Amino acid sequence: MMIHPVQRVMGWTLLWTGLVVLQFVLSAAADVEEVHHSSVLQRHKREWKFNTYFAYEELLGSLLPQKIGQLINTEAEQKPNTEFQISGEGANGLFTVNNIGEIFVTATLDREKKSSYKLNAQIRNSSTKARLEPDAEFHIKVLDINDNKPIFSDIPIGSVYERAAKGTEVMTVTATDADDPTTANGNIVYTLMNGTNYFRISNQTGRITVEDSRLDRETQSQYKLVVQASDMFGQPVGHTTTTVVTVNINDINDNAPAFTGGTFRFMVKEDVKTPFEIGKLTVKDQDEKQNKNPKFTIQGNNDLFFVNRDDDGDGALIINKGLDYETNPSYSFMVTVSEADVVQPPDSQGSVVTSARVFISVLDVNEPPVFTQTEYNFQVHEGLNKNKIVGSVSASDPDKPGYKISYAIRSLKCPLEINQQTGQLTVKEELDRESEESHICEVTAQEEPPSGLISYAMVKLKVLDINDNDPVLVNGSNVYICEKDKKGEIIGTIGAFDKDINTGIFRFTLATKTSNFSLHDNLNNTASIILNHGGFKTDHSAETTLDIDISDSGSPPRKSRNTLHIRVCTCWENRREEYCRSYAQTGVSVSALIAILLCIATILGTPTYYTIHGLHIYTTTIHCSNLYTLSLYTALIYTLPLYTAQITIHSLATIRNTFLPCATLLNTYCTFLGFH
C-alpha cells in the first residue's frame, strides 16, 4: 500500500507531537511524585503542604497576573485570622501572594536569564502580624518554551585529502541553543543540505565525514556545503539555522609525469662555460607543485649531459663538460621520465609520453685564448721588493691556426706588473701587509691583432709578514693611584699590542728609574705597576708619568718607548674610582660662568639689595629697548663646604619682536641657568 507524502509528513508530525506531550506528562507526574515524597517541614499537628511551583516563561501581558499555586498550612486552616507572606528572590515583585495563600506571577519571565527562584513562605496573625510558624522554603521553576533558535559557532575551513577513505573526518560544526537542553526546545540535530554524494554529517554531533572515496582535486578542489541546525528534534514546528562551510580538497601525488612531446631540439655554442643549461624538457603533471617530483634518466653511457629537475618540475638539460665543434658537431640521445611515489593507479593513464629523443647541434665560434688556470695564487714578503718575480700566467688559442697572445693587467690598484709577451709577474711597488694583506688582480690574454678575443684570469697575491712594527702600550687608562694606597699596592696592569703577527712574548722594562713605582713583567704579555710608597693626594700631587720600554720577540726584535700617565684619585672600597684629578683642564668652570653672567646683569641693570628671612637677595632689572623688563632675583645660600646659587625668574614677559642684542643676552643667560 502506497502512503502519500503528505500523509507521511502528518504522521511524523503527530508522532513527535505525541512524544513531546508524553514527555511533559511524565515530567509533571514526576513533579507530583516529588511533591508527595519530598521531605517537607512536618509537625505533629500543623504542617506546610507544598514543594515546587512552575511558571511558564514569556507569558503575554494580557495573561498576567497568573496563578501558579497555593500555599497550604494546617495552622491557617485551624485559625481564621491568618495571612500568608513570601520573601526571597522575586518576592512581592515578580511573585505575589494573597491572604489565603494563592501565588501569582505578575511579570514576564525569561528562563534563559534565570531558570529558578528560591523563596520563603511565612504565616502570620493578620491582626498582630505575629509569625505563627517558622519560614518554609519553596521553589518556583520557570518552564521553557521554544523561543530561541540554534546559533552556529565560528566555522573553521575544513580540508581533506583527495581519495580519502569513506568515513574520514573532515571537520565538525557546532551550534548552540539557549533553550533548555533537557527538552526538545534545546535539542539540536544537523542536516547536510547539499554535497551528500561525497559527504555526510552526523545529525547529533555535527561531524562531517567523507561519503565517497573518489574525491579528485583535479576535478574539483573546493566544496561549499550548506549545513542546517534544527531544534525540536528537527520537526517543522521548531527553529532552524543554516551556515555555509568550506571544504578544501588537498592534493596527493596521484598523477604520473609525462613529456609534452616526443622530440626536443636544441642548439648551443661550443664556447659556453660549463655547467650550462641548454634548455627545458617540459613535463605535464596535473598535481600541485609540491607533488611534482619527476626523475629524468639519459639512456646509454653519457657523461657529457645530465638532466636536473627545476623548481617547476621540468627537466633542465645541462652540459657537464666543454663542447668542441671541431671534434663533435652534434649529439642525439633518449631521455625517460618517471616518478617513484605516485599513488597507484594514477589518474593520468593511457597514452602518456614517458620517453623523448633529444637532438643537440653544436655551433662553431671563434674561441678566445684559454688560460692554464682560472685562478693563480702567489705570495711575497712585504717591504721593498720592487721588480721581484712572483710567478707567471699562461694562455693559448684553441682555434686553428692559433694567434699570438698578449698579456695585460686590468686592475688599477694591482701592485704587480706583467710581461706582455711572457706573462711573467713582478712587484712594482712597496708592499705593507698591515695595510692590505692580500691583493686580487684581473689578468687578460688577448689574441693578436688587438681586436682579437680576450680571456680573463684571477691572480691572488698574499703578502707575507715581516717584523716591521713597534709594539705599543695598551690598558694605560686602568692605572691610577688611590689616596689610600700603600706601599706594594698593584695600581694597574698594562699590556701591549703589535700590528705584526707571530710576535711572541712582549717584554716590559722601566726606561728610567723612579722612586715612586716599580714594574713587574708577568711574562704573559702583561706587566703590573706597583706603588713604592703611599701619601699621594689629589689636591697637591703633581702629574705622574712613567716611561716604559716594550720589546717584541720578532726577528729581529723591535722596541718602543711609551709614556704612561698615572692619575691620583679618591676611591671607594675595592679601589673603585670616585674622583680623579685631571691635569689637563681647558674651558671655563661653571662657577666662573655664573660670576660672568652676574657681572653682566649688574652692569646693564639697576641693582637693589634685600634681606628676607636671613637670605641675602640681590636684584637687578635689565631694560630691553624700553619694551620689556626682565627682573632677575638671585638668592645665594651658603652651605659649608659647598655653595649653590639658586636663581629664580620672578617675571619673564613673552618676548616677541624685541631688540636682538638684548634678546640674545637674555637667551644665553636663561639657557645657562636651565630655563626654557
Residue 556: cis peptide before it, omega within 30 degrees of 0:
yes
Q: Is the peptide bond preceding residue 449 cis, with omega within 30 degrees of 0?
A: yes
- 615 versus 64: the higher-pLDDT residue is 64
Average pLDDT, the chain: 80
What's the count of helices (H) and strands (E) in the chain, helices before strands?
4, 47
Q: Which residue has the higher pLDDT, 647 or 109?
A: 109
Distances in whole angstroms, Cα of residue 633 to Cα of each of 100, 102, 306, 613, 618: 91, 89, 93, 15, 6
Q: Which pLDDT score is estimated for 352?
A: 82
Residue whose C-alpha is closest to residue 333's, from 260, 257, 256, 266: 266
| Same CATH fold assignment for domains 38-143 and 258-363 | yes
According to CATH, the topology of domain 38-143 is Immunoglobulin-like (2.60.40)
Beta strands in 465-516 (DSSP E): 472-474, 480-482, 490-497, 507-510
- Which comes out higher in pLDDT, residue 124 or 443? 443
Provide DSSP, 388-419: -EEEE--EE--SSSPPPEEEEE--TT-SEEE-
Q: Is the pLDDT of residue 675 over 90?
A: no
Q: With beta carbons less than 8 A apart as the criterion, state whether 372 and 399 touch.
A: no
* Per CATH, domain 151-250 is 2.60.40.10: no
Amino acid at 263: T
- Contact by Cβ (8 Å): 454, 424: no
Among 158, 199, 152, 148, residue whose Cα is nearest residue 178? 148
Strands 169-172 and 207-210: antiparallel
What mean pLDDT do residues 320-335 have?
A: 90
Give dist(CA 384, CA 134) in Å, integer: 121
- DSSP-derived 3-state class of residue 426: strand
- Break the chain into its structural domains and give their ranges: 38-143, 151-250, 258-363, 370-464, 472-580, 590-673
pLDDT digits (tens, 9 = 90+) for 473-510: 999 999 999 999 999 999 999 999 999 887 789 999 99
pLDDT tens by residue, 231-270? 988 888 899 999 999 999 999 999 999 999 999 999 999 8
Q: Are strands 559-571 and 480-482 parallel, antiparallel or unpaired?
A: parallel
C-alpha cell at 127: 491582626
Q: Is 382 in contact with 433 (CB distance < 8 Å)?
A: yes
Distance CA 123, CA 135 (A): 8
Q: What is the pTM of this model?
A: 0.46
Residue 360 and residue 331 in contact, taking contact as beta carbons nearer than 8 Å: yes
Q: pLDDT, tens digit, for every residue of 349-398? A: 666 899 999 999 999 887 788 999 999 999 999 988 889 999 999 998 87
Could you give the maximum distance between any two Cα atoms of the chain, in Å?
143
Mean pLDDT confidence for 402-427: 92
503: Cβ–Cβ under 8 A, 6 or more apart, which residues?
Answer: 467, 471, 552, 553, 554
Query: Which of these, 485, 470, 491, 268, lies nearest to 359 by C-alpha position?
Result: 268
% of residues, the chain, pLDDT over 90: 53
List the CATH code of the domain at 258-363.
2.60.40.60
Task: Please say whether the beta carbons of 430 and 384 come within 8 A.
Answer: yes
d(CA 141, CA 163): 53
Which residue has 522575586 as its cell numbers?
Answer: 90
Read off the pLDDT band of 650 (50, 70, 90).
very low
pLDDT of residue 665: 43
Domain 472-580 class, CATH top level = mainly beta
Rounded distance, CA 17 to CA 186, Å? 15
CATH 3.30.1340.30 fits 370-464, yes or no: no
Contact 170, 206 (CB under 8 A): no
pLDDT tens digit sequence for 522-558: 999 999 999 999 889 888 766 789 999 999 998 889 9
